[in-house]
Structure 1
Amino acid sequence: MSTEQAKAELIEEFGFFDNWMDRYQYIIDLGRELPPLPDEWKVAQYRIEGCQSNVWIHHQREGDVLHFDATSDAAIVAGLIAVVMRIYNDRSAEEILATPPDAFKQLGLEQHLSPTRNNGLHAMLAHIYQVAEREARG
């Protein structure tokens, strides 16, 4: 599935809910489905600065794609990570760099998140783009 297809699928899923309380619950449920992050990756080296909650993102190259593992100690933030992973995980560096973060506006997340959560979301995206830029340069 392409990043565009992943974004379209998320937008469709969010459209099933009539209000933001249901969407928040869906985001939290998505976060509960994240695979556990090994404790050895829950260290300062993988912690994302700019997030109010603790967020850790570990990445590795698997062939031509970048694989990210991530989690947070906050339920809603873990859900935001799950949304980010649906779009950006297991993609080539070039595909990540060619994918604008417009899905979050289309989902209405930016206008419904607190300023600190918005900052955290942008910090996670910035980290993923930085990793992709480094990997694309070789």
Structure 2
Amino acid sequence: MSQSVHPSAEQFLALTLESDAQATLSLFEQAGNWQERYRQIMLLGKSLPKLDDSLRVDGAQVRGCESNAWLYHSEIDGKHYFLADSDARIVKGLVALLLIACNGKSSSEICAFSPDSYFTQLGLQGQLSPSRTNGLLALAKAIKLAAE
């Protein structure tokens, strides 16, 4: 029987992405075309720490993603924190966008979060393949469920 593995509270609190939500939105708003936005997504993916292999377990895998993606959640002092990773670079960048929007937020803030509006604001609506969009929505749904 496998032992349940879960990151420590320190690991959740140590996750700091190089950008906050407003700075990220500014980068996307300044990007002149889809290729520049795609590049920004890839750079964000590089800023997301890689999960240790011991945390890449079936129980943490997000279903509905074409690529492998893992998500961990912890509630600390009424705020929700997430660790996530993917084996696909573009998905990892998209995951980083979700974490920027949701990490350190309250349950009510996460429940009010609209992934569709957020991705429209970022200029990503209609730019991603249907399977990638479905995977991204599956990740957003998993984040919302964890915060309930």
Question: Fold conserved (TM > 0.5)?
Answer: yes
- For structure 2, the residue ranges without an aligned partner over 5 or more in a row are 1-19
Matching of residues 1-138 of structure 1 within 5 Å: 7-101=21-115, 102-133=117-148
Alignment RMSD (CA, Å): 1.3
- Deviation, structure 1 residue 34: 0.4
Question: In 1, distance between residues paired with 2:49 and 2:104?
Answer: 14
Amino acid at match of 2:74: Q
Which one is further off, 14-23 or 46-55?
14-23
Which one is further off, 76-85 or 11-20?
11-20
Amino acid at match of 2:111: L
Residues 28 and 123, structure 2, Cα contact 8 Å, conserved in 1:
no
TM-score, normalisation: structure 2:
0.81
Amino acid at match of 2:57: V
Question: In 2, distance between residues paired with 1:50 and 1:84?
Answer: 16
- Deviation, structure 1 residue 66: 1.2
Which residue in the other structure is 1:136 paired with?
A: none
Amino acid at match of 2:110: I
Question: In 2, distance between residues paired with 1:118 and 1:52?
Answer: 10
Whose helix fraction is larger, Structure 1's or Structure 2's?
1
Amino acid at match of 2:26: E
Question: In 2, distance between residues paired with 1:16 and 1:44?
Answer: 38
- For structure 1, the residue ranges without an aligned partner over 5 or more in a row are 1-5, 134-138
